[in-house]
Structure 1
Amino acid sequence: MKLAISGQVFAGTLNLEHTLKTISKYGIDTIEIWPGNITPLEEDVCPDAYEGRDIPAAKKLLDEYGFKVSAVSMSAAFHKVISADLDKYAAALLYAVEVAKTLGAQYVNHYCYNLSLEISPDLERIKKAVTPATRFAEKEGIILCLENEAHDATQTPEGMLHILQAMDSPNFKTTFDATNYYQAGQESFPYAYDLLKPYIAYVHLKNGCVYRPELGHSEKSKGAVMTGSLAPNYIYYPPLPEGTVNMDGVLARLEKDGYTGFCIIEPHTKPELAEHYLQVETAYVRERGYF
């Protein structure tokens, strides 16, 4: 398995050079890129897409610092304007595949959200939004990885499986985020993992529990409302070894099942706490001997 760190926590706060320097302090030379990690070339640039950003300059910096890109993450499904126009969304996702090719990434992490908010997937709408990028990815050898979220049609493992089977492409897989399934009140491990194992191409590592400020939980690591059986609580994101989700079990099964892809540490906290999380979480996964 290969270890990388998500640049999301630093997006819009640190420039890419500072972000790479920060990540390298933890002995990591691979980053998951987000739109906000790349310098905009214009004033009015969408925070969730790559159009209007200086991709060549980002590539130059990555090369200078000896960094690889695990994946390009594209969050335009959360952008109301882009996701309301399926042709516009399809173009943004296709461009993210182009960016991945330029930056040398094999994966594009993306989302469903506004494309299908109900628990039952709107397959026609999803297919229209993602098929052009999927066909392009098939030609370029890049894998589109749909990440599960707690507030859309991917909130249940069954919903995710339905989408993956409907897409029926070797280049359309899933990002497995056990804590996002927990946020949706689902059994993230072992059930969701076992159900989706043939489709897992990319893994996000974070942990969660119910937000309880009376127990000292900082608002800086408070997430969105939970769904399913855990609603209407809010999720809290503690460092990786300190949450409810069985991350030891997830990592052990990935190793046992021969997973050789990326595991991405993604601190869900404010930038000022990010380095504390990175210190704890990189030490935690290395102590297990998988990286």
Structure 2
Amino acid sequence: MTGFKLGVITDEISQNIEDAIRIAKQYGLEGLELRSVDGKQLHRLSDQRVEEIAAMIHDAGLQVCGLSTPVFKCNLKNQEETAAHHRMLRRYAELARRLEAPFIRGFSFWADGEWDAAYPGIVRELQRTVPVLEEFGVRFILEADPSVFATNGAKVASLVRAVSSPRVRALYDPGNNLWDPDGELPYPDGYEALRGLICHIHAKDAVREQGRTDAIAIGKGQVGYDRVLARLAEDGYDGWLVVETHYRLASTLSEEQLKRPAGYAFSAGGEEATMECLESLLDLLGQHGQKIC
């Protein structure tokens, strides 16, 4: 039996941090992952507001399990954009230290060209993050996303290995595979590609049919969480498993909202959908005899 640490990304519930804390406590979660609060991405909040949020989370007996950032969702060929994102990375590293968050989640630049041609430049920019990560004692976890160059586990793994630093690791999000233009399977393919590099997991689900992908409650889609959870237990994973709902009951998130999740419009209707996902995930974990530690 393994013990996952369970968390949720706060703006999948609400832009009000109090709402996210309430839901986390209601479902017995241990952690909150921060992306946008008060309608703003975290790096745009004042230091005073960040301190207030940190105090509320601490007083609730919860941890900040990571920072979901938009770092390197930018144009690799645009030097000004790339430089701005390196400055953004430093700001997030400062916030991670202040919030005692172990991870900064980031990406591999907008996919506006060929993977093979872009690959050396992506590796170079990721390697440039290492001194900042070492300075602040935080890790950068690279996530696959259909809008960036690394759209799946195999590509993320190749980049992480090429960077060759313990400060740069992988985030496994099997749900994202259902948007992968290369068609990598969430499991076993996505997991096996990243095995040994994973230090954080996001959970979402979706259905892909006739070239269209629609988000759905965890456990009701095509990820196959029964198999994923069983394998994680077998391999002794004891890190964070964080719900990233990306699903709404009475509406559908737009492609732009999925590409750049943040703000009040993104969070609208998220509480009910996230509660459904949490109930389903807890049920699945219970079926596998897995405790939440």
TM-score, normalised via structure 1 length = 0.80
Q: Which of residues 146, 160, 163 in structure 1 aligns to 2:159?
A: 163
Identity of aligned residues (%): 19
Q: Which of residues 5, 12, 15 in structure 1 aligns to 2:8?
A: 5
Show the 5 A alignment for 1:80-229: 85-114=81-110, 118-120=114-116, 122-184=118-180, 185-210=183-208
Structure 2 runs not aligned, ≥5 long: 249-269
- Please name the residue that 1:242 is paired with: 220
Aligned-pair CA distance for 1:287: 3.3
Q: Is the 8 A contact 1:117 1:151 kept in 2?
A: no
Larger RCO (CA under 8 A, 6+ residues apart) = 2
Per-residue displacement from partner, 1:183-221 (whole Å, max 9, x unpaired)?
Answer: 21112211221122111111111111126xxxxxxxxxx
Q: Is the 8 A contact 1:116 1:122 kept in 2?
A: no
- Please name the residue that 1:280 is paired with: 280
Aligned-pair CA distance for 1:83: 8.8
Tell me the C-alpha RMSD between the 2 structures: 2.6
Per-residue displacement from partner, 1:205-251 (whole Å, max 9, x unpaired)?
Answer: 1111126xxxxxxxxxxxxxxxxxx6xx2211221111111211111
Question: For 2:199 and 2:168, how far apart are their aligned partners in 1?
Answer: 9
Q: Is the 8 A contact 1:33 1:71 kept in 2?
A: yes
Question: For 1:255 and 1:116, how far apart are their aligned partners in 2?
Answer: 38
Q: Tell me, yes or no, if structure 1 residue 61 matches structure 2 residue 49.
A: no
Question: For 1:167 and 1:90, how far apart are their aligned partners in 2?
Answer: 16
Question: For 1:121 and 1:273, how far apart are their aligned partners in 2?
Answer: 40
Of 165-174 and 50-59, the range deviating more from structure 2: 50-59
- Please name the residue that 2:263 is paired with: none
Question: For 1:84 and 1:138, how far apart are their aligned partners in 2?
Answer: 24
Question: For 1:110 and 1:257, how far apart are their aligned partners in 2?
Answer: 25
Question: For 1:134 and 1:117, how far apart are their aligned partners in 2?
Answer: 25
Q: Which of residues 253, 262, 266 in structure 1 aligns to 2:244?
A: 266
User: Which residue identity is paired with 2:121?
Assistant: R
TM-score, normalised via structure 2 length = 0.79
Q: 1:266 to 1:52 in 2, by over 3 A?
A: closer
Question: For 1:126 and 1:144, how far apart are their aligned partners in 2?
Answer: 14
